[in-house]
């Protein structure tokens, strides 16, 4: 009787061990961004300490802006100089317009005298020629002043573009976080010389992470984008915590099974990677192992 009971127990244990506890396993990861310097100069400060969380757009560092600021002041002075050289066309042609008005009055007076036979035709022709000459001089003067104004405006606009470029470079000296996240690594210290493209720190959104798991082609038939699943964070010693998850990505091509990943069918040579979005409560760490049940029904 004892032997029969022992055999039944072994069969029961064998049946339980052959049943997979989870559908797939993987590791937790997040989108990591390496923030590099966009300007060259001495690093005044960099408060991107590892483990510190920042909101998007927070200024965490500053690169020397003295030279750029001096260039901006020089350009602004040049722009003011060009602005002051811009001629006042109305005032510049006022004298010529007054001469034309005077010549027109004299011409009209001579015309009236000619009608009264008190002047000769030559006097009227002389005033007509004088009036035409003054009108041509006014047109040439206006054209010259307009060309000069246009040239000064173009030079002023060119300087305005240079000032805008300097302002953009000044903005790039202010180091800000591109996303809301936690600093994972710091690559530079205050006082160091920053160059364009030099990595300064690495940041990742550790609140919205994902579990990268692998499934076989057989399992793939029952996995779809948007599926609600159960994810388990593995803390070791059979200590796990469950989280709700959502399938957000499925690989288009198969790949060979990573050595550190266990699948439902370990004999499968090729698997498909899937990403499952998880909301982290602070306990899950990047690189930690996790498991997933694609059937979200509670037992």
Quick check: 200 and 187 in contact, CB under 8 A? yes
Dist. CA 288–CA 29, nearest whole Å: 8
Residue 207 dihedral angles phi and psi, to the nearest 5°: -90, -35
* pLDDT value at residue 261: 57
Dump pLDDT digits (tens) for 176-214. 999 999 999 999 999 999 999 999 999 999 999 999 999
* pLDDT value at residue 191: 93
Residue 274 buriedness (CB in 10 A; 0-12 / 13-18 / 19+):
buried
Within 10 Å of residue 213's Cβ, how many Cβ atoms?
A: 29
Please tell me the CATH code under which domain 32-64+174-204 is placed: 2.40.50.100
CATH superfamily assigned to domain 22-31+206-293: Efflux pump adaptor protein, beta barrel domain (2.40.30.170)
Output the CA–CA distances (angstroms, integers) from residue 24 to 19, 93, 237, in the order listed: 13, 87, 19
Spans of the chain below 70 pLDDT:
1-20, 257-269, 296-299
Dist. CA 32–CA 35, nearest whole Å: 10
* pLDDT value at residue 264: 53
* pLDDT value at residue 257: 64
């Amino acid at each position: 009787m004892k032997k029969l009971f022992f055999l039944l127990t072994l069969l029961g244990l064998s049946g339980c061990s052959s049943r997979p506890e989870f559908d797939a396993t993987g590791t937790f990861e997040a989108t990591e961004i390496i923030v590099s310097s966009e300007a060259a100069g001495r690093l005044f400060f960099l408060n991107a300490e590892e483990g510190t969380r920042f909101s998007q757009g927070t200024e965490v560092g500053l690169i020397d802006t003295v030279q750029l600021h001096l260039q901006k002041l020089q350009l602004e002075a040049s722009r003011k100089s060009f602005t002051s050289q811009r001629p006042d066309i109305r005032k510049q042609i006022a004298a010529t317009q007054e001469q034309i008005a005077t010549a027109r009055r004299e011409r009209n007076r001579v015309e009236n005298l000619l009608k009264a036979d008190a002047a000769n035709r030559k006097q009227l022709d002389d005033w007509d020629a004088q009036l035409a000459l003054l009108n041509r001089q006014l047109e040439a003067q206006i054209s010259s002043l307009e060309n000069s104004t246009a040239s000064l405006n173009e030079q002023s606009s060119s300087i305005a573009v240079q000032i805008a470029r300097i302002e953009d470079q000044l903005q790039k000296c202010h180091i800000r976080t591109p996303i809301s996240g936690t600093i994972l690594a710091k690559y530079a210290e205050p006082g160091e010389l920053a160059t364009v493209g030099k990595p300064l720190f690495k940041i990742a959104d550790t609140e919205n992470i994902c579990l990268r798991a692998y499934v076989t082609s057989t399992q793939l038939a029952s996995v779809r984008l948007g599926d609600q699943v159960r994810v388990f964070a593995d803390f070791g010693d059979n200590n796990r915590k469950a989280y709700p998850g959502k399938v957000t990505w499925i690989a288009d091509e198969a790949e060979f099974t990573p050595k550190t990943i266990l699948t439902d069918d370990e004999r499968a040579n090729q698997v498909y990677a899937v990403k499952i979005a998880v909301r982290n409560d602070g306990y899950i760490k990047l690189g930690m192992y996790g498991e997933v049940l694609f059937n979200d029904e509670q037992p």
